[in-house]
Chains A and B, each alone.
Chain A
Amino acid sequence: MKLFRADLHIHTVLSPCGDLEMSPSEIVKNALRKGLDIIGITDHNATGNAKITKEIGERNGLFVLCGAELSTSEEVHCLAFFENTDALDRLQDYIDMNLPFVKNISSLFGYQLEVDENEIITREEDRLLTSALLAKLSDVQLFIHSLGGLFIPAHADRLRNSIYSQLGMLPGGLDADAVELSRNCKTTNFLSSHPELKPFTLIRSSDSHCPGDIGTASTEFMIEKPCFDEIRMALRGINGRYVERI
């Protein structure tokens, strides 16, 4: 086993706030340049650029976890990752069912583009993806786990769209595979004011919206090889796999 470096929170051009340079190929190129072994593709309430990024990554020796950053009805952001394209498609169906139709105004919020490996636009999403889903946190958690996915509340230390900002305190019965802290969060300070987080595996990621952000925060996984199952075991701390303390 050895350590693999992962940045599991990266937005593509499909997120309205994502820089136009955040094409799948550009993301893979930058991730490799920064020495990452694993990245997560997490667009706001969308999965459309994940598979192509995984394909490009695979050809270049970068493991890509496919998922999304979901916004629950409480406006808590959480990362969801799935092992295969089947489950990812089910997630997209779930999003389509629960995303209210608010038209995106690209001049205000930004473009929401699906692109191919040559950065040719293949589709423009017209629903505003940063809206909150009509599904509450506990239901989103159940849904993700029912498909064998990973459920990770995002940037827990932020003052907006975090589990603490929206819900004031950690909800009882939270069954998270990990909790994410953002780039500049001081772990020791945060844990001393939130000791209830101690039983959880903590990860840190960049929440990248432009190429320069990629890899500016990361988490090290002690695993056999980069794959979904190994990552899950490390998050759960089983079979000798683990996540390095951040």
Chain B
Amino acid sequence: MINAGELSRELELEIISGSGGLETEVLGGYVSDLLSDVIGNAERGAAWITIQTHLNTIAVASLRELSAIIIAGGHQPESAAIDRSNIENIPLLTSRQDAFTVAGRLFNLLNRE
């Protein structure tokens, strides 16, 4: 098992906010930029890889009980999203790598054993 803090180290992600949630276990992954799709299909505990930076990403992650949000491709979250992630304790992590690369690394990491 791996938690969001360990995940950020392994995938070399920058922790932007929501560090109160770094102990949360990462149970899987999900890649999507359609928030409606995430609401409908992401599973609890998934680390969610996206390039959306809107405040609503935090609400969606909280609703689906996701373990972390990884914003790929060098995009930066909006400041309202940063504030909200601290309240909800959802780790907001960023990567300069694109979503494909981050997803590949996450997949390998979660399937290592």
Q: With A159-B36, A164-B36 known to touch, is A169 a contact of B54 (CB < 8 Å)?
A: no
Min CB gap A175→B, angstroms: 15
Min CB gap B36→A, angstroms: 5
Give the complex CA separation of A159 and B36 in angstroms.
Answer: 8
Give the total of A residues in contact with B, Cβ under 8 Å: 13
B26-66 CB contacts (< 8 Å) to partner A = 33-39, 52-56, 59-60
Is residue B12 within 8 Å, beta carbon to beta carbon, of the partner chain? no
- Measured CB to CB, the nearest residue on chain B to A172 is B55
- Measured CB to CB, the nearest residue on chain A to B75 is A73
Give the complex CA separation of A165 and B78 in angstroms.
Answer: 19
Min CB gap B22→A, angstroms: 24
Give the complex CA separation of A169 and B35 in angstroms.
Answer: 8
* CB atoms of B55 and A136 under 8 A apart: no
Give the complex CA separation of A116 and B37 in angstroms.
Answer: 42
* CB atoms of B78 and A167 under 8 A apart: no
Give the complex CA separation of A164 and B53 in angstroms.
Answer: 15
- Name the prevailing secondary structure of the A interface residues: loop
* CB atoms of A168 and B55 under 8 A apart: no
Residues of A within 8 A of B59 (CB): 168-169
Give the complex CA separation of A169 and B55 in angstroms.
Answer: 11
Min CB gap A156→B, angstroms: 11
- Measured CB to CB, the nearest residue on chain B to A160 is B34
* CB atoms of B78 and A168 under 8 A apart: no
- Measured CB to CB, the nearest residue on chain B to A165 is B36
Is residue A166 within 8 Å, beta carbon to beta carbon, of the partner chain? yes
Is residue A137 within 8 Å, beta carbon to beta carbon, of the partner chain? yes
Residues of B within 8 A of A164 (CB): 36
Is residue A74 within 8 Å, beta carbon to beta carbon, of the partner chain? yes
A138-173 CB contacts (< 8 Å) to partner B = 159, 164-169, 171-172
Min CB gap B80→A, angstroms: 9
Give the complex CA separation of A75 and B38 in angstroms.
Answer: 16
- Measured CB to CB, the nearest residue on chain A to B37 is A165
Min CB gap B60→A, angstroms: 5
Which of A137, A159, A167 is the one whose CB lies under 8 Å from B35?
Answer: A167
Given contacts A136-B78, A168-B38, A169-B60, 14 further A-B contacts (CB under 8 A): A75-B33, A136-B54, A165-B35, A165-B36, A166-B34, A166-B35, A166-B52, A167-B35, A167-B56, A168-B56, A168-B59, A169-B35, A169-B56, A171-B54
List the 7 closest A-B pairs by CB distance, nearest first. A168-B35, A167-B56, A165-B36, A168-B60, A168-B39, A167-B35, A168-B36
Sampled A-B contacts (13; CB under 8 Å): A74-B52, A136-B54, A165-B35, A166-B34, A167-B35, A167-B52, A167-B54, A167-B56, A168-B36, A168-B56, A168-B60, A169-B39, A171-B55
